[in-house]
Structure 1
Amino acid sequence: MAVSDTSLPTTPTSSTHSTSETTMGNLPPTRLPNGVYVPMLAFFNSEDEIDIPTTQRHTARLLSAGVTGLVVHGSNGEAVHMSRKERRAVIEAVVDAVRHEVDSLQQPVPIIAGCSAASVKETTELCREACEAGATHALILPPGYYSGLLNKSMIVKYFHDVADQSPVPILVYNFPPAANGVDLDSDTILDIAAHPKVVGVKLTCGNTGKLARLVADTPKVRGGRNDFFVAGGSADFILQGLVVGARGTISGFANLAPRACVRIGELFEEGKLAEARELQHQVARADWLAIRYGFVGVKAAMPYFWGDGEQCATAPRAPFQALHEQNPEGVAEIQRGMASVLEIEREFEQGKALAA
């Protein structure tokens, strides 16, 4: 997926910056480049500690596949299973891996960190810690723990207060299952988007009508600026989003098939709609398995897509178990259902075009 704006400041060159030195810490918000963003899996070693080598290896291969940006501590990233110290360590590992790849990259790499908490105070603390670790943006859920007591104005004020205090720009994360059922409608998101430091939204709700309204109407609440990053949150509607003006996708399935996800956007931009549609069909079929089995299923597919050396990448944190331990047939189903996309991904890796 081509990038139409490369105004993002340079990715940090060290994971030890103070807040005042970190990328974007004291700079005005800038438009996120269009493209595929990958909400990265979290990896743990046999001692149940953060697996830094696997994290950095995965970062490097995603970048080599042509993705635009990376998301840490999204729903695929098991942030709720980590301490604050561990969350910082993961961000620093990803930042350092990006730094080592920077010479081969054509533009800076946004690194978006999930920073959700129930209060403004803790959320802004997470934003500051993410910034210090090198993240360029924060991804934030609505505060859904006391969802029955919230109203629209409280939710809008929550995001605006966080944006006022965060050292990095923020994106709204609309994913009702992860926010105790809170599903932000387009009117509420538009009110939130009026804040200049709220620079985008991830719509894992899958509502493409909402996506279309936000693309059309965010310039009206942002002083005419067409700088708001609207993205779907699943690989099964990348093309549908692009047709109505989405700037990209933030898709967990891109952990497995990043080139296929990128190629859908390229085909759309080239006007090859029949090819884009066929590839979207293939990706949607495979992504349905990732959706059904969740991050445990995506982890189970890592060795299938990236080689047997990634068996270490399949373990989630307790109380979850690796899929091969609890449901071997589920692993087999994933392999069968994702076989065609794996073949396509390998063809793209070898530089072959998708057959019409």
Structure 2
Amino acid sequence: MSSTPPPPGVYVPAVLFFRPGTEEIDEEAYRKHILRLAEGGVTGILVQGSNGEAQHLSHEERSRNIAFVRKTLDEAGFKHVLIIAGTGAQSARETKELCVQAKESGAGWVLVLTPSTWASAMGLDSILKFHREVADACPLPYMVYNFPTVTAGIDLDSDLLSSLGTHPNIVGTKLSCGNMGKIQRLSSSFDYQTSFATFAGKSDVFLHTLLSGGAGTIAALVNLVPKIHTKIYRLFAEYQKNKDARFLEEAFTLQAKLSMADWAVSKIGGVGGVKAIVSQEFGYGNGQVRVPLREANLGVLVQSEQGGKWWKAVEEVLKIEKSL
């Protein structure tokens, strides 16, 4: 099996909305969100990333969401917007099942977290075996998702990821660790168009990743400001083409604002915070999450001195987004 990475660009781990007072999926709010992201110029959508509460969904819900997003995009004229499906689970067996279901539902790639329930009982050999075994069986091109915050501190280093990158069906990684040294090492070791693509998993290192030869970003903040991310990507492309420093200067100005907002949103409330801000600023959905996640109370938060500073950083990028 020989596979290719997803095209470089801006991808969004889309948040999922639930109907008020329940934990049932709100398809109307989800549709509005998917279309706003597509209209914002994203290259693709990650369905069932960490921000999509993947671990809180049944297999049937996961498959239904992928098919729903593909249908929503296609019917609205966004057939070019790609879908990556999060298919991580706590065993190789279940992960393989989710990968097959992702293909059947319309995804083009899968993104797989390293299992972490028994982190202390796994070594590097076990991690390598897991990803290779699942990639062997996966009917779609396979990407490795490194996010120590949600994998009990497991942080895959560049040596391990480079080893996995030689597998014919492992075509990339999302690095939510934000380690620029790791991003640089991987980006300089592989061709992101043909063999293995390195994506920043955080907006605060987006432009830095592009400058290091990375493929782009798959980041939570894109849920709020897709147009800013796509503008930075276009400015970088213009800089590469024309070697005019003015494009890069403008990109760095926007990147600085993204970095401030990315940090602020993580403090405001993560997944629940992103959903609450989307609901407040764009008029659909709500901040409800599935238990045990906590909802973010924006009204209370912004009243505190520190919360007010965080909200100011978010407001600044929202203002730019709405002007584009």
Residues 13-32 of structure 1 aligned to structure 2 (within 5 Å): 28-32=2-6
Aligned residue number for residue 148 of structure 1? 120
| Cα distance in structure 1, aligned partners of 2:18 and 2:198 | 32
Aligned residue number for residue 58 of structure 2? 83
Does the residue aligned with 1:173 lie in a helix, a strand or coil? strand
| Cα distance in structure 2, aligned partners of 1:183 and 1:148 | 13
Aligned residue number for residue 296 of structure 1? 272
5+ residue gaps, structure 2: 240-246
Q: Shift of residue 50 of structure 1?
A: 1.0
TM-score, scaled to structure 1: 0.83
| Cα distance in structure 2, aligned partners of 1:323 and 1:182 | 27
Pair 1:41-2:15 in alignment = yes
Q: Shift of residue 174 of structure 1?
A: 0.5
Letter in 2 for 1:114: G
Aligned residue number for residue 313 of structure 1? 286
Does the residue aligned with 1:218 lie in a helix, a strand or coil? coil
| Cα distance in structure 1, aligned partners of 2:120 and 2:296 | 34
Aligned residue number for residue 133 of structure 2? 161
| Cα distance in structure 1, aligned partners of 2:293 and 2:159 | 37
| Cα distance in structure 2, aligned partners of 1:211 and 1:81 | 29
Q: Is the 8 A contact 1:301 1:331 kept in 2?
A: no
Aligned residue number for residue 144 of structure 2? 172
Aligned residue number for residue 204 of structure 2? 236
Q: Is the 8 A contact 1:91 1:135 kept in 2?
A: yes
Letter in 2 for 1:44: F
Pair 1:122-2:90 in alignment = no
Aligned residue number for residue 263 of structure 1? 231
Choose 171-180 or 290-299, whichever is displaced more: 290-299
CA deviations 1:326-352 (Å, max 9, x no partner) are x6322564543311111111121xxxx
Letter in 2 for 1:323: A
Q: Is the 8 A contact 1:323 1:331 kept in 2?
A: no
Pair 1:286-2:261 in alignment = yes
Does the residue aligned with 2:199 lie in a helix, a strand or coil? strand
Pair 1:66-2:41 in alignment = yes
| Cα distance in structure 1, aligned partners of 2:216 and 2:100 | 26
Q: Aligned-residue CA RMSD in angstroms?
A: 1.8
Q: Is the 8 A contact 1:174 1:183 kept in 2?
A: yes
Pair 1:322-2:284 in alignment = no
TM-score, scaled to structure 2: 0.91
Q: Shift of residue 123 of structure 1?
A: 0.5
Letter in 2 for 1:35: G
Q: Shift of residue 55 of structure 1?
A: 1.2
Does the residue aligned with 2:190 lie in a helix, a strand or coil? helix
Aligned residue number for residue 347 of structure 1? 323
Letter in 1 for 2:95: T
Q: Is the 8 A contact 2:264 2:311 kept in 1?
A: no
Choose 201-210 or 290-299, whichever is displaced more: 290-299
| Cα distance in structure 1, aligned partners of 2:302 and 2:27 | 25
Residues 87-102 of structure 1 aligned to structure 2 (within 5 Å): 87-102=62-77
Pair 1:199-2:171 in alignment = yes
Q: Is the 8 A contact 1:50 1:90 kept in 2?
A: no
Aligned residue number for residue 135 of structure 1? 107
Structure 1 residues 199 and 76: CA distance shift in structure 2, 3 A: same
Letter in 2 for 1:282: K
Q: Is the 8 A contact 1:300 1:331 kept in 2?
A: no
Letter in 2 for 1:294: G
Percent of aligned pairs sharing the same letter = 38
Q: Shift of residue 63 of structure 1?
A: 0.8
Letter in 1 for 2:152: N
Q: Shift of residue 77 of structure 1?
A: 0.6
| Cα distance in structure 2, aligned partners of 1:72 and 1:31 | 17
| Cα distance in structure 1, aligned partners of 2:70 and 2:56 | 21
Q: How many residues align?
A: 310
Letter in 1 for 2:134: V
Q: Shift of residue 305 of structure 1?
A: 3.1
Does the residue aligned with 1:268 lie in a helix, a strand or coil? helix
Q: Is the 8 A contact 1:55 1:93 kept in 2?
A: no
